[in-house]
């Protein structure tokens, strides 16, 4: 099963999650002030997900690896969950690369 985006409202803001085919969240967006801006964020993921240079591989203060996906202008489009190790984080990046171009957008907003 292919991945998909879930677009939803969060209070008076909008956000999206990219989910893998197994329904696990692999990327979470920032909160946007408008639905159109969140849809633009999805388009940015679709455009940038395949480019390895767009990923920052990071480590949280507690030592947990995670990653962010950035647009060409350097702005963060989305962030992963915290992973147990770098291999798991790298699998998460591979999953975003594989699923990020999907056009399946489930509008729950």
Q: Give the tens place of pLDDT for each residue, 40-57.
A: 999 999 999 999 999 999
Which segments of the chain have a pLDDT < 70?
Answer: 1
pLDDT at 93: 97
Angle 58-62-68 (CA atoms, 0-180°, nearest 5)? 25
Task: For residue 19, list its beta bridge partners.
Answer: 4, 25
Hey, what are 25's tokens?
């969240």
pLDDT at 55: 98
From CA 41, how far away is CA 64, in angstroms rounded?
Answer: 26
Q: What Rg do the C-alpha atoms of the chain give, in angstroms?
A: 13
CATH class held by domain 4-107: mainly beta
């Amino acid at each position: 099963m292919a991945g998909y985006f879930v677009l939803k409202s969060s209070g008076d803001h909008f956000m999206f999650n990219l989910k893998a085919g197994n329904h696990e969240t692999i990327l979470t967006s920032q909160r946007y002030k408008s639905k159109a801006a969140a849809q633009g964020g999805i388009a940015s993921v679709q455009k940038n997900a395949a480019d390895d240079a767009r990923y920052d591989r990071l480590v949280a203060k507690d030592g947990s690896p995670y990653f962010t996906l950035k647009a060409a202008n350097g702005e963060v489009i989305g962030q992963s969950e915290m992973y147990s190790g770098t291999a798991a984080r790298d699998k998460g990046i591979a999953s975003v690369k594989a699923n990020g171009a999907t056009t399946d957008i489930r509008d729950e907003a």
